C-alpha cells in the first residue's frame, strides 16, 4: 500500500481542447476532498464509481489512481459522463496516459445509464456547473456548459441530486462541489429529506469564490459513521449547516 506519499500533482495534463474545462481550484478541491477522506474510501472499497461531468478527466483519473494504487486488489469499475464530446476525448487521453481505464459516456448527467446503474453506484463525484448565470446559458454547447448554472447556479445541481438518489447504492457516497451562492445548507436539507446525512469535507476560499466539497451518504449507512471519527463532527456540521459561511475547515490553497 503506498499511503501518504501519493500526490495529485502526479496527474499530467496530456491533452486539452479549447472547449474543455481545464482543472481549476474547484477540481483541485474535489480531489483534495477525496484525499482527505482517503482512509474512509479505502475501507469503503467502492465497486462502481461514477463521475458526472468529467471535463479533462483530472478527477476520475485521480480517483482511479488512488484506489488502484492503494488497493491493488480493487476491482472497482469506473464510469464518467459529460455532455461535451470533446471532454470525453480529453478524458480518454488523460486516463490512458496514466494507465487507468473508465467507461466514457456522452450523457446528460446519467441519462441512459439509470436502468443499468440504479442503486448500484458506491461512489459518485461531481464538480457541476455551479456559477449563477442567465438561464439561457445552461447546457449551451461547449465550454459554457462547464460553469453555467442558471439561477443561483442550481439548474444542473437540482437535476443531479435526484439522479444521485436513484443511482447510489445503499452504501453509496456522493462528493459534490458547491458554491456558497448555491445555498449548500438548503442542498443538505433537501438531501436530508431523502434520507442522506452530509458533511463538508473541504471548504476553500479563493479570490473569486467560496467552495465547499460536501459528502452525502445514506443516514443508515453505519459503516460511514463507524469508520470515520470525523463523521461525528460532520453531524454537528450538518446541524449547523445554516451557519455555513462561519464554519471554516479551510485547508489552504492547492
Ligand atoms: C466545472 S466542469 C468540471 C470538469 C471536471 N470534472 C473537473 O473537475 O475539472 C463541469 C463539467 O460538467 C459538464 N456538464 C455540464 N452539464 C452537464 C450535464 N447536464 N451532464 C453531464 N455533464 C455536464 C461540462 O461539460 C463540464 O465538463
Answer for the pair 250, 225: CB distance below 8 angstroms, yes or no. no
- CA–CA separation, 143 vs 19, rounded Å? 5
Residue 74 lies in a domain: yes
Task: Output the pLDDT for position 224.
Answer: 52
Residue 37 lies in a domain: yes
- CA–CA separation, 90 vs 15, rounded Å? 6
Task: Output the pLDDT for position 163.
Answer: 98
Task: Output the pLDDT for position 223.
Answer: 46
Q: Find the 192 Cα to ligand 1 centroid distance in Å.
A: 25
**β-strand partners of 217:** 173, 197
Q: Find the 117 Cα to ligand 1 centroid distance in Å.
A: 20
Number of domains in the chain: 1
Task: Output the pLDDT for position 221.
Answer: 63
| Count of all residues that appear for the chain in the document | 254
Task: Output the pLDDT for position 147.
Answer: 96
Mean pLDDT by 10 residues, the chain (254 residues): 43 91 96 96 95 98 90 85 97 96 97 96 98 93 94 98 98 98 98 97 91 93 47 34 28 26
Q: Which of 137, 146, 254 to mutate to test the pocket of ligand 1 (most atoms within 8 A of CB)?
A: 146
Closest Cα to atom 2 of ligand 1: 146
Residue 11 lies in a domain: no
- CA–CA separation, 183 vs 241, rounded Å? 10
Q: Find the 179 Cα to ligand 1 centroid distance in Å.
A: 15
Task: Output the pLDDT for position 105.
Answer: 98
Task: Output the pLDDT for position 196.
Answer: 97
**Domain span including residue 111:** 25-246
**Cβ density class 123-153: b for 16+ within 10 Å, e for less:** bbbbbbbbbbbeeebbeeeebbbbbbbbeeb
Closest Cα to atom 11 of ligand 1: 53
Sign of CA dihedral 47, 204, 6, 130: positive
pTM across the whole model? 0.87
Sign of CA dihedral 187, 192, 195, 198: positive
Task: Output the pLDDT for position 182.
Answer: 98
Q: Which residues line ligand 1 (CB under 6 A)?
A: 21, 23, 26-27, 30, 52-56, 58-59, 81-84, 87, 108-109, 127, 129, 145-147, 156
Residue 251 lies in a domain: no
- CA–CA separation, 211 vs 214, rounded Å? 10
Sheet holding 121-126, edge to edge: 103-106, 77-82, 48-52, 121-126, 168-179, 210-218, 196-205
Q: What are the backbone angles phi and psi of residue 146, rounded to the nearest 5°? A: -70, -30
Task: Output the pLDDT for position 249.
Answer: 27
Residue 8 lies in a domain: no
Residue 16 lies in a domain: no
Instruction: From the CA of 26, give the closest atom in ligand 1.
Output: 8
Task: Output the pLDDT for position 138.
Answer: 94
Residue 84 lies in a domain: yes
Q: Find the 124 Cα to ligand 1 centroid distance in Å.
A: 13
Q: Find the 104 Cα to ligand 1 centroid distance in Å.
A: 13
Task: Output the pLDDT for position 241.
Answer: 34
C-alpha cell at 140: 449551451
Task: Output the pLDDT for position 226.
Answer: 43
Residue 61 lies in a domain: yes
CATH number at residue 241: 3.40.50.150
Amino acid at each position: 500500500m503506498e499511503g501518504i506519499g501519493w500526490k495529485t500533482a502526479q496527474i499530467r495534463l496530456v491533452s486539452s481542447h479549447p472547449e474543455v474545462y481545464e482543472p481549476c481550484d474547484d477540481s483541485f478541491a474535489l480531489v483534495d476532498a477525496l484525499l482527505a477522506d482517503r482512509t474512509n474510501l479505502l475501507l469503503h472499497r467502492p465497486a462502481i464509481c461514477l463521475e458526472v461531468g468529467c471535463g479533462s478527466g483530472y478527477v476520475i483519473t485521480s480517483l482511479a489512481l488512488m484506489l488502484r494504487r492503494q488497493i491493488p486488489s480493487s476491482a472497482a469499475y469506473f464510469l464518467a459522463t459529460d455532455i461535451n464530446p470533446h471532454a470525453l476525448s480529453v478524458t480518454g487521453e488523460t486516463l490512458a496516459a496514466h494507465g487507468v481505464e473508465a467507461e466514457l459516456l456522452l450523457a446528460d448527467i446519467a441519462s441512459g445509464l439509470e436502468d443499468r446503474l440504479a442503486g448500484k453506484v458506491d461512489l459518485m463525484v461531481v464538480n457541476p456547473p455551479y456559477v449563477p448565470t442567465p438561464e439561457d446559458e445552461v447546457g449551451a454547447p461547449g465550454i459554457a456548459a462547464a460553469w453555467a448554472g442558471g439561477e443561483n447556479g442550481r439548474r444542473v445541481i437540482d437535476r443531479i441530486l435526484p439522479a444521485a438518489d436513484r443511482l447510489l447504492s445503499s452504501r453509496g457516497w456522493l462528493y459534490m462541489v458547491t458554491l456558497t451562492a448555491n445555498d449548500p445548507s438548503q442542498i443538505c436539507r433537501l438531501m436530508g429529506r431523502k434520507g442522506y446525512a452530509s458533511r463538508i469535507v473541504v471548504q476553500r476560499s479563493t479570490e473569486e469564490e467560496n467552495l465547499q466539497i460536501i459528502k452525502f451518504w445514506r443516514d443508515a449507512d453505519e459503516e460511514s459513521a463507524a469508520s470515520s471519527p470525523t463523521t461525528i463532527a460532520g453531524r454537528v456540521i450538518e446541524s449547523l449547516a445554516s451557519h455555513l459561511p462561519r464554519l471554516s475547515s479551510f485547508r489552504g490553497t492547492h
